[in-house]
Structure 1
């Protein structure tokens, strides 16, 4: 199943969204945060105890390839690795370019 994605304006909104997902029964293992900047993503993950999209989701090849990609290409590859289509990944990457934050929940 496709993950659900929330596009949020601020880190605080992301914190609240993760908290809401927890209250609705989502496991921390199924919740991801993503911002355009790696440092922002990492600080959000720390603040929410959510995950970042990393090697376990991307696989070794994609993770290694991301070292040589532009940031936009890297973000799109990360989004596709968790089950979004190429078109959806492009759409959400554009939101990240605008400074938005994504909270992604995998559905089992």
Structure 2
């Protein structure tokens, strides 16, 4: 089983600090994923921190298509569980996203 780490931060500056620390510990950027509830904010932060976008490899074709019909919260929880986050932890993290925080998942 992979060593999964999750972090909740308030903003992009804190996210960058965590990502830099993870890299310093030997974590590769293609194993770091960043989540924000607002899809534009998520895209902006992912681009600015050069972290990984969840694609077909992580999600699978079925889930990728299903996410078109899901709410943003459902989509985010599904994406986190596709990385190995438990359903219970994904629910907890999604509540943090609802409050405007940023979630980082690394393995």
Alignment of 1:14-33 (within 5 A): 14-33=15-34
TM-score by length of 1: 0.92
Are the aligned partners of 1:76 and 1:89 in contact in 2 as well (CA < 8 Å)? yes
Aligned length: 106
TM-score by length of 2: 0.93
- Offset, 1:53: 2.2
CA RMSD of aligned residues (A): 1.0
Task: Determine helix, strand or coil for the equivalent of 1:67.
Answer: helix
Alignment of 1:1-108 (within 5 A): 1-106=2-107
- Offset, 1:52: 2.3
Task: Determine helix, strand or coil for the equivalent of 1:66.
Answer: helix
* C-alpha distance in 1 between matches for 2:55 and 2:39: 11
After the TM superposition, which segments of 4 or more aligned residues of structure 1 sit over 6 Å from their partners?
none
